Amino acid sequence: MAFKLWTVVSILGILTLGVLFFLGKNVSDDSNYFSTLALLIFIVLIIVTGVLLYTMRSQMENDVVESYLNTKINELELELQKSKETSEHKSIYLANMSHEIRIPLSTILGMVRMLKNTDLDIDQKAQVEIAEYSSEHLLQLINMILNNSKGLDSDLTLESVPINLKADLTKLFKIFEYQAWEKGLEFGYEFSVDKKQDFLLLGDMGKIQQVLINLVNNAIKFTNSGKVSITIDHTVTYDNLQVVSFYVKDTGIGMSSYEQQHAFNAFEEKNSNHVKHYRGSGVGLSVTKKLVALMGGELKFESKENEGSTFYFSLQLQKTLSVIVEPPKEKPILLNKFDFRFNVLVAEDNKMNQKVIKFLLEKHGADCTFVTNGLDAVNLYKVIDYDMIFMDIYMPKINGYEATKIIKNSDKYAKNKIPIVAVSASAFEEDIEKAKAAGVDDFLAKPIDNQKLNSVLKKYALKKEEQAS
């Protein structure tokens, strides 16, 4: 580019010199006039040359800057690609680890619940209860880590379903109660409720629990002596809205003024020495703040170093017409008044998980047949009539997705469409969507939640009874 510019300007300079010289020669023979004209031409050439050199220098600098910027852009694009690949690898790793941890954990919880239903004395029941709550706490921690890892990078959506705050949160707090006792801490929770309030509220219990898990877990973790207390206040009400305020207070290490200023973005700090005592590296609180804001509230806190902290927020939840009633005693779901028993095929390759599922289903009056891979499930379905199938997703020979597709495309299924329920320790959205695409009717995550299992059984047991009648 610079060479082309130099060539053009040089040609123009030579032409200009020739024209001026030719004009000067023909206009006058006066030597003084010619000398003046030559001097003028010389000055013009100096000016042209100066402009040319300045232009060339600017152009060369621009070329250097452009080359540097292009190099930087390429480097940044490579770094961005590497970051995306690293993020994808981390997500895959977390998904795999979640699946691997949930499998043995589901067995532990299942066996503990089986033991809980046997003849135990008071001390044994207390010990089993502690084991159950500790296992559930471990499951909550796994969920917390996975949810926090996704919370800042994904577009979150709210659910709006009827919830009973006291009933739904009491079990959660029981889990933390044992964790606090293990550290020698006092632990208390209180529900301040107007006695006249006997209605359910609309909200997203999953996200409320995630917020409280993050806050209570941090409170216990950073409290070495004293007490952790939780207060749920829903005495303020107006029109069709209920104001619910949540307070999590501890007597722990508290936070310095610097930590308070960076409480919700400490995970971005490059110098970890400033936040070495910070709660959960900041990611948990950042996600918690985002979740509270999503639900229409604002997470705030008060803290004094070496005296403790109080985190609090308020939500406005819609009232419902549903009245809170005491749950009836659990009865077998898969038995009708004629002692009709459900014949259930269970495809599960883990022997211990087979025992857990067998216990849960037989408790509701089911007859269970077990297979350890998808191929056996398909072959057995062809020759025996079943009322329901529980299909593990990841099995040898044929996985649950393929086995479901084969069963659903069979002539036998076209005549008698039985429900197929997917069961998996991997319960990410993509797993659920993939299972639905394969044709499953419902999805249960391991460890199997008894209430969710009850809902599934009630749904399909009623349909079966309607068909039989």
Same domain (yes/no): 146, 83: no
Residue position matching structure tokens 């402009």: 51
pLDDT of residue 338: 43
Q: Final residue of a domain: which of 323, 356, 375?
A: 323
Enclosing domain of residue 88: 1-118
Q: Are 307 and 254 in contact (CB under 8 A)?
A: yes
Asked if 360 and 110 count as a contact pair (C-beta separation under 8 A), the reply is yes
Looking at the structure, tell me whether residues 233 and 84 fall in a common domain: no
Identify whether residues 51 and 139 lie together within a single domain: no
In sequence order, which ranges of 272-386 are alpha helices (DSSP H)?
A: 283-294, 351-362, 374-383
Do 133 and 107 lie in one domain? The reply is: no
Question: Which among 323, 357, 379 is the end of a domain?
Answer: 323
Residue partners of 309: CB distance under 8 A and separation at least 6: 219, 249, 250, 252, 254, 255, 301, 302, 303
Q: Are residues 168 and 310 in the same domain?
A: yes
Which tokens belong to 253? 């290490």
Same domain, 145 and 286: yes
Question: Is residue 11 a part of any domain in this protein?
Answer: yes
Q: How many structural domains is the chain composed of?
A: 3
123 part of a folded domain: no
Tell me how far apart the alpha carbons of residues 179 and 140 are, in angstroms, rounded to a whole number.
12
CATH of the domain at 136: 3.30.565.10
pLDDT at residue 403 in the model: 93
Q: The domain spanning residue 383 has which CATH number?
A: 3.40.50.2300
Contacts of 289 (CB under 8 A, 6+ apart): 264, 299
Q: Residue 193: how many CA atoms within 13 Å on its side-chain side? A: 15
Residues 197 and 81 in one domain: no
Domain boundary among 323, 355, 385: 323
Is residue 153 domain-resident? yes
Q: Is there a domain that residue 352 lies in?
A: yes
Quick check: is 335 in a domain?
Answer: no
Residue 333 lies in a domain: no
Which of 202, 201, 367, 216 is closest to 285 using CA atoms?
216
Residue 458 sits in the same domain as residue 410: yes
Q: Is the same domain home to 33 and 177?
A: no
Is the domain of 183 the same as that of 299?
A: yes
- 43 CB-near residues (< 8 Å, 6+ apart): none
Q: Are residues 424 and 462 in the same domain?
A: yes
Say whether both 62 and 114 belong to one domain. Answer: yes
Per-residue CA distances from 54 to 58, 126, 171, 185, 248 (Å): 6, 89, 79, 77, 69
What is the residue-level pLDDT of the chain in tens, covering all 469 positions? 555 555 566 666 666 666 655 655 555 555 566 667 666 766 776 777 677 667 777 777 777 777 778 887 888 888 877 777 666 666 666 666 666 777 777 777 778 877 887 787 766 776 787 677 777 767 766 766 666 665 555 566 788 888 888 888 887 888 788 778 878 899 999 998 766 666 788 898 888 988 998 899 889 989 999 999 999 998 888 778 889 999 999 999 998 888 888 777 644 443 444 444 444 444 578 888 888 998 999 999 999 988 999 999 999 998 887 665 555 555 555 554 445 667 899 999 887 778 778 888 887 778 899 999 999 999 999 999 998 999 998 888 889 999 999 999 999 999 888 999 998 877 677 778 888 888 899 998 877 877 788 888 888 876 665 555 5
45 domain-assigned: yes
CB 146 within 8 A of CB 100: no
Contact 245, 228 (CB under 8 A): no
Report yes or no on 9 lying in a domain: yes
